Amino acid sequence: MLSSGPLKGLVRQVRNAEFRAKGEEVKEGPALEDIRLSIVVTVYTETFSISQTLETLLGRDRGYILEILLLISPKASEESFRICGEWAARDPRIHVLVQKNNPGIGWAYREGMEAASGNFIALMAADLETEPAAVDRMVDKILETGCDEVVANRWLSGGGFTNYDPLKYVLNWAFQKTFRVLFRTRIGDLTFGFKILSKEVCQAIDWRGTLHEICIETTVKPIKAGFYVEQVPSVWVGRKEGRSVNTFLRNFRYVKCALAALFASAQTG
């Protein structure tokens, strides 16, 4: 049986689908002043990318940014710590949090979700692989539909990949097609960690991911729980500094996480 949160999301999703089928405009979301967004930005080895990310986020803010939490690894460089500290001193909405459980972006996202005080929480990185400008489009999608979560989709028209490994591109495409069918969802980018979730979603689900599998967990678990998930196009651009710690073999953790969520749903549904 669905709890009240997912049930409300399901009702909104069905109603909005009916509006779209009739060609009517969908206006089911909150007002802009009702959005209090906490943005969790993970920081590892970045320097200038941190500043570019924050400049874009703040430059497009229409009053909805409540706080930006820079979740920095304790193993980050002195330069990364210095830049984060300078930004925090410059803008009272920016706070520096040192990751307690390390390593793992999953731990970072989970600590960020727990620390966030807004009613919506954005998850992204400081490496510019997650497009900062897309946050504003995600907010618009919430205003338009009243959805519980918005994910960035690199496969939608207007999205895309730049400097992405060709083999990973093919495998990613095959994965999305396969698991989209298995989860019976129209969401077309299940593995991208870039998204906005409502506080209700963050608190309703028992998150288990410690590494990059958190990226798929934060999409498929809300889908299976019945929350209303939407999507917007976004462009992935290979990082210009630092290095990724997501090795190829770790991608199998995505598969394990997805199958676990699917199996758990089959047992409890």
Residue 233 lies in a domain: yes
Structure token pair of residue 266: 């089959």
Q: DSSP letter at 130?
A: S
Phi, psi of 4, rounded to the nearest 5 degrees: -60, -35
252-268 vs 166-182: helix axis angle to the nearest 10? Answer: 0
Domain that holds residue 12: 4-22+33-241+248-268
Helix then strand then coil, in percent of the chain rounded to 5, is 45, 15, 35
Whether pLDDT at 212 is above 50 = yes
Asked which of 34-43, 56-65, 101-110, 233-242 is least confident by mean pLDDT, the reply is 233-242
Structure token pair of residue 152: 């960035």
Q: What dihedral do alpha carbons 118, 122, 126, 127 form, nearest 10°?
A: 180
Amino acid at 9: G
User: What's the mean per-residue pLDDT of the chain?
Assistant: 89
Whether pLDDT at 188 is above 80 = yes
Give the domain CATH number at 175.
3.90.550.10
Cβ-contact 66, 39 below 8 angstroms: no
Residue 190 lies in a domain: yes
Distance between CA 229 and CA 153 in Å, rounded? Answer: 12
Residue 204 lies in a domain: yes
Distance between CA 96 and CA 147 in Å, rounded? Answer: 29
Residue 27 lies in a domain: no
* Number of domains the chain is built from: 1
Whether pLDDT at 248 is above 60 = no
Which residues, other chains included, contact 235 with Cβ-Cβ below 8 Å and sequence gap of 6+? 131, 154, 159, 160, 161, 162
Q: What is the pLDDT of residues 32-76, one digit of tens each?
A: 999 999 999 999 989 999 999 999 999 999 999 999 999 999 999
Residue 28 lies in a domain: no
pLDDT tier at 267, thresholds 50, 70, 90: very low
